Structure 1
Amino acid sequence: MAESPNVTYSFLGPVGTFTEAALAQVPEAQGKPWRAVNNVGEALADVLTGRSVAAMIAIENSVDGGVSATQDALAGAPNLRIIGEYLVPVNFVLVARPGTALADVRVINAHPVAYAQCRTWLEAALPHHGHIPASSNVAAAASLFENSQADAAIAPPGIEKHHDLDVLATDIGDNPNAVTRFVLVSLTTALPARTGADKTSVIVELPEDRSGALLEMLEQFATRGVNLSLIQSRPIGDALGRYRFVIDADGHILDERVADALLGLRRSSPNVIFLGSYPRADKQPIEFTSRYEDEIFIEARTWLRTLLP
């Protein structure tokens, strides 16, 4: 009898995290086993080893920017592909063990990204507090029952339904419109269909540390009318001044202008990691001028062939 294919999906746990809320948006994951993991590295390892068919990971926040741990992990796993993105509105509450008052809080357990998004409120309400990093927002709350040195934790709304905790404050996020962007990654090489509202993600190393190198890299997109919705530098780690750039470009690799830009990158960079082309979560069609239509690129190649013997 043939072995059944693995249909497990991994996400940053435990139950109740924003990552789980993002996975709940994936139709293909409904009714399938979900595996809670402790960090991004474990989630990607699940996919690379075949323990899971895909993993949901946070990659960007509208307040705090790109999630560096995710970006660095993806740079070290070049066989993975992003097959979808999902947006989750983010807000936080401050919780503590029953009987704890806000005035009693001296140390707070919180995921670093959540902590950064609540910094203004914390500095106003608890100006002398300390911070202990947690692996996830739910883990921060759960750790209060594990001999934690923390007096309180930053957690998602509704956490008190899963744990015996008192809510000391609600809506403590600095930005009520904060959104976290999640991506679903898999080992598949199949491309999601082109929709006209797509995004292409790559990681690119600068060929050398010199004046104008970054400009030359960006010109590969600019001269082809490709807008960038994200560009963030990350140190490669082997020497000072050596950087890779995480880039989200508007469009699909099957769009002529995007494909041509990627070819330009590959000619000029020693290492280009293609992370995938996939539908935008907001479904907003990509706008560009008519001189970058597919037909323009195709006609130019046809013209060139007519000049060759």
Structure 2
Amino acid sequence: MTSAPPQPPAPPARRTYSYLGPAGTFTEAALAQVPEARGGVWKSVRNVAEALEDVVEGRSDAAMIAIENSVDGGVSTAQDALATMPGVRIVGEYLVPVRFVLVGRPGATLDDVSLVAAHPVAYAQCLRWLGRALPAHAHLPAASNVASALELLDGTSGADAAISPPGILEHHDLELLAEDIGDNPNAVTRFVLVARTIAPQPPTGADKTSLIVELPDDHPGALLEMLEQFATRGINLSLLASRPIGDALGRYRFVIDADGHIQDERMADALLGLRRFSPRVIFLGSYPRADRAVVRYPERYSDDIFVEARDWLRGLITGEPGVR
């Protein structure tokens, strides 16, 4: 009796990533920067809440969401979702230059354009170009940057052209009427990759820590007390944004990005201070900066100084000889 030949091991399951779709969005461009996402399943969703729910409920391994724009500031829907949805962690950040193109139906020309479909935010970022190139145009608001173009193709839009991300041309047969039509050539959108709660990656020296912190009450100097937790430990903040909590007027939570990693002694000490001060601190994650810029700080805030200070205090408490 011969034994059955050994079976080859099953291939590893493909990871699934949720992103704000459809194909061709800036969010898809951000996901394309994630090495481990290549070859995975990319799941198009309709909004940030759906993307995060996919992660929490296990339908996706991670989700890519926009968190901040250099022109329009923080993405409030994403910040609010992260503040209210437990069980998620930011594991990486990615920067996507904001470039816009003007597209039309196949065969269209710029001379044919009098009505332009665009998401209001995209339209506002292209106003100067439109004023020069199409001074007599009218604006037709669209639900998204990609929907503005797709509705040209399916016949549901009466517009002659649409403002869209360049990636739309990789997926659909559209006529490129003009490119780089944004008014700010330095515009960038910051995206974060969100997974279920896991231990932070080891520090790289070029890290960022994201938090959401509520003030204990409304009193003079409350915000200053919160900021002192970082200032007295030499920690720079790259983002400080307020969002209403929603339970009463004048009640706010603060979205914070701080330079450094939770395993840095100064950051750990600051988090302990915040925990004592605030009724609610949400740790969103420590992760490598997209720009890989090494975090610089004065020597008096190095890990060794914090460790030495703790050892000094321990010596005082235990009566260690020679400690003063």
TM-score for the superposition, normalised by structure 1? 0.91
**Superimposed CA distance per residue, residues 60-102 of structure 1 (whole angstroms, 9 cap, x where no aligned partner):** 1222221111111111113210001111122001223344755
The answer for the alignment partner of 1:153 in structure 2 is 162
CA distance in 2 between counterparts of 1:128 and 1:234 reads 36
CA RMSD for the aligned pairs?
A: 2.4
The answer for the alignment partner of 1:21 in structure 2 is 29
Name which of 55, 60, 63 aligns with 2:68. Answer: 60
Note the residue ranges of structure 1 that are not aligned, 5 or more in a row. Answer: none
Native 8 Å contact 2:118 2:163 kept in 1: yes
Name which of 254, 257, 279 aligns with 1:245. Answer: 254
Name which of 300, 303, 316 aligns with 1:291. Answer: 300
Q: How many residues align?
A: 307
The answer for the alignment partner of 1:256 in structure 2 is 265
SS in 2 for 1:147: coil
CA distance in 2 between counterparts of 1:62 and 1:305 reads 46
The answer for the alignment partner of 1:142 in structure 2 is 150
CA distance in 1 between counterparts of 2:28 and 2:105 reads 24
The answer for the alignment partner of 2:322 in structure 1 is none
CA drift of 1:107 comes to 4.8
The answer for the alignment partner of 1:303 in structure 2 is 312
Name which of 12, 15, 18 aligns with 1:10. Answer: 18
Structure 1 residues 98-107 or 77-86, which shifts more? 98-107
CA distance in 1 between counterparts of 2:167 and 2:39 reads 23
Structure 1 residues 197-206 or 157-166, which shifts more? 157-166
Name which of 177, 198, 210 aligns with 1:168. Answer: 177
Give the percent of matched residue pairs that are identical in Structure 1 and Structure 2: 69
Larger Rg computed on CA atoms: 2
SS in 1 for 2:242: strand
Instruction: Report the AA paired with residue 28 of structure 1.
Output: E
**Superimposed CA distance per residue, residues 4-41 of structure 1 (whole angstroms, 9 cap, x where no aligned partner):** 76721111111122211211111211211111111111
Name which of 176, 198, 208 aligns with 1:199. Answer: 208
Name which of 54, 60, 65 aligns with 1:46. Answer: 54
- 1:278 is aligned to 2:287: yes
SS in 2 for 1:192: coil
In structure 2, relative to structure 1, the CA distance for the partners of 1:58 and 1:109 (3 Å cut) is same
Instruction: Report the AA paired with residue 62 of structure 1.
Output: S
CA drift of 1:108 comes to 2.1
Instruction: Report the AA paired with residue 139 of structure 1.
Output: A
Native 8 Å contact 2:17 2:41 kept in 1: yes
Instruction: Report the AA paired with residue 73 of structure 1.
Output: A
Native 8 Å contact 2:29 2:167 kept in 1: no
Instruction: Report the AA paired with residue 118 of structure 1.
Output: C
- 1:74 is aligned to 2:82: yes
CA distance in 2 between counterparts of 1:234 and 1:126 reads 37
In structure 2, relative to structure 1, the CA distance for the partners of 1:163 and 1:185 (3 Å cut) is same
CA distance in 1 between counterparts of 2:172 and 2:14 reads 32
CA distance in 2 between counterparts of 1:304 and 1:84 reads 37
CA drift of 1:235 comes to 1.3
CA distance in 1 between counterparts of 2:90 and 2:38 reads 19
CA distance in 2 between counterparts of 1:197 and 1:87 reads 15
SS in 2 for 1:215: helix
**Superimposed CA distance per residue, residues 97-125 of structure 1 (whole angstroms, 9 cap, x where no aligned partner):** 34475564335232x44334324334554
Native 8 Å contact 1:109 1:150 kept in 2: no
Structure 1 residues 24-33 or 247-256, which shifts more? 24-33
Note the residue ranges of structure 2 that are not aligned, 5 or more in a row. Answer: 1-9, 319-324
Instruction: Report the AA paired with residue 114 of structure 1.
Output: A
Instruction: Report the AA paired with residue 95 of structure 1.
Output: V
CA drift of 1:217 comes to 1.0
Instruction: Report the AA paired with residue 62 of structure 2.
Output: A
In structure 2, relative to structure 1, the CA distance for the partners of 1:123 and 1:294 (3 Å cut) is same
CA distance in 2 between counterparts of 1:101 and 1:35 reads 34
